[in-house]
Amino acid sequence: MKAKAVNKKKKKRALVNQIKASFPAKSINESLSRMIVSSIVCQLDPTIDELADIKTSVSEAVTNSIVHGYSNNGIGEINLYVCYYDDNTVRIIIKDKGRGIEDIKKAMTPLYTTDESGERTGMGFSIMQNFMDKIKVISKPGKGTTVIFDKKIKK
């Protein structure tokens, strides 16, 4: 008996909805970013916990851009992209053109911070890693940082 070849092609997921926004790197806009993300994510009818995880992760990433990327001076812009696919996966991209991160692995260590004031206890990447299904950080010193995370909303 001849074995049949199994077709293991991944089904390409289709984009259902998306939103793009940009706003000044000011702490007042951290709550705005959560609201923008929530407006898209709520279309998937997430649980309260799923929505809270996503909103917390977005808060951490946006706060990182403000505090670490632009040194909390409000000069600069943050770009936010949120989309979801027909497999109920949400993708969130938060991008700045700030200072960038020299050592991403070190920055993702719990409690690591570049904030010299002593007011901050870490960059929040460990929180994002715990709350999201996937996280990717792309950064170059002097060029900025992009944080990409995915979360599958369970139905």
Q: Which residues belong to the active site?
A: 60, 64, 120
What does 71-95 look like in DSSP terms, one character per residue?
TTSS-SEEEEEEEEETTSEEEEEEE
Please tell me the chain's helix, strand, coil percentages from 3-state DSSP, rounded to the nearest 5. 30, 30, 40
Closest CA relative to residue 137, chosen from 96, 84, 88, 85: 96
What amino acid is encoded at 18 in this protein? Q
CA distance 133 to 64: 20
